[in-house]
Amino acid sequence: MIIQLREDSDLPIYVQLVNEIMELIANDTLQEGMTLPSVRSLAADLAINMHTINKSYRELEKKGLVRIIPKSGAVIHKRLKKDEQIEQITSIIRPVLAEAHALGLTTEDIDKVVASTILSIKEEKI
Amino acid sequence: MTITLAICMFLFSVILQSFTPYLLKDSLVFGVTIPESHLSDKRLAQAKKHFTLFSLCIGAIIFIVLFILFSQKPNEDTFMISSIIGMVVSLLLSQSLFFVFRSRIARLKEEENWRDGLTEVRVVDLSLRQQNATLPTWSFFTPVLITMGLLVYTWMQYDLLPEQIPTHWGINGQPDAFTTKSPFSAISMLLILLIIQGMMAVSNYNIERAAYKLNPAQKMTSRDAQIGFKKYSSWFLLFTVLAVTILLSFLHLSMIHSNLFNSTVTLISPIVFIALIFIATALYSIKVGQSGSRLSPSTFGDKVEGVTTIDEDQYWKLGLFYFNKEDPSLFVEKRFGVGWSINFSRPLAYVIIFLPLVLILAIAFLL
């Protein structure tokens, strides 16, 4: 269950943290009902501000992957509302697809990228 | 006896201090973070060697001065005090030596841009927080029960207590300073014992909550080292608190019942205590090493190129004091030595340092 945040990344720390946790959920390392470490202990381990961790946990809650329960912390809880989620993902993926097509990638190329990326996310399970 | 003990203490502190660079992890040389790519730089090994040699020389010179002083056959008090002064002076000199080497290494690193080409990565293992590496803090409250029992017992046996309550003991276990009997002076030592027990429990609690600092270049190896470091730190604390509890309970009981223990037991118990604490400290420092670096050789083969830990040099003022407002940790690993230090950016740090001091001084003042 290792998470790594790179200092040289263009992405802010809190976004990197969200992305890493999402990968762990995607490959079932973090399963439904498991609790994420407390904000304080995660901030201590990473030597970063507690607000940053809080921001990541809120973001995960907004995405419908985590439920923040007072006193017990952030629990993995996938909200299942397929239509809503398709809409959510579409809005995120749209500019990426536009960029891909603008660069000349075919639908087939993109399908390949999607398939191989999903495979690599699933394989990362430790 | 006193002479042998003073000499042993002096030699122990000089040797441990001199060899400190070898008890530290490779990536921290004189409090300077060394990137993975430069760990085998010959100048680092040389600096460590020079520090040890210089430090031992300083120790030897002070030892000779003390020896000349001792040959004048001074009384025990002058003797004890001069060897403690000698110990402090050698520690201070060796500390100044540390500053010299630290600035030298820091300059090298700066001038030759050692950090270029490596990415700093923060690593955390979420599963580490699912169980504690330390002993549960409640186990530190079992010695408190002994103190409580002794408090009750002292209250019941108050009439048996001598008119003069001892407040200080010589190394032979015999009291050498006294105060008049009162309900407060009768229990003052037990109160001090309670403060020590409280300090140890608070330390254990904070070590449990302290950060697991993983090295991105060796994730699994550093993970195991960190778990071991917390575990043995906790055991070391428990051992210390038990030893102190036994010694002070013993002294307290021999005050109530002057004939309870025969003189041999009284004579050797403080020495046994000091020897045990020294052995435990040596074992902890040498076996565990800084952040557990000496616990397990890297058997994982988990070396990763191109990454390194976050450089925290800027947060370590003088290479000794950690000030980091962002970091919520209260306890942090020592920078130059084996053990724990404190994050001075947290107001609570000052409470933890000064509260026990103030309480103990208050007890001494009220006696």
Q: Tokens 């790594």: give the residue.
A: A4
Looking at A56-60, A83-87, B122-126, which range is the least confident one?
Answer: A83-87
Say whether pLDDT at B306 is over 90.
Answer: no
Query: What's the rounded mean pLDDT across residues B225-245?
Result: 94
Compare all CA atoms of chain A with the CA of B323 and give the residue at the minimum distance. A47
Percent of residues, chain B, with pLDDT higher than 70: 98
User: What's the pLDDT tens digit per position in B54-93?
Assistant: 999 999 999 998 888 878 877 777 777 888 888 899 889 9
Does B310 reach chain A within 8 Å, measured CB to CB?
yes
Chain A residues closer than 8 Å to B123 by CB: 2-5
- Provide the 10 A C-beta neighbour count for residue A41: 23
Nearest CA in chain A to B210: A44
B126: distance to nearest CA of chain A, Å?
A: 5
B210 interface with A at CB cutoff 8 Å: yes
The answer to whether the Cβ–Cβ distance between B120 and A40 falls below 8 Å is no
* Entry pTM: 0.88
Q: What is the pLDDT of residue B299?
A: 65
Q: Best residue in A2, A23, A66 to probe B by mutation, most B CBs within 10 Å?
A: A2
* Size of chain A in residues: 126
| pLDDT tens per residue, range B212-227 | 999 888 888 888 889 9
Beta bridge partners of B180: B164
Which chain A residues touch B216 with a CB distance below 8 Å?
A: 4
Coil/strand/helix, residue A78:
coil
B129 touches chain A (CB under 8 A): yes
Which pLDDT does position B157 carry in this prediction? 87
Which of A7, A45, A49 is closest, CB to CB, to B124? A45
pLDDT band with cut points at 50, 70 and 90 for residue B172:
confident
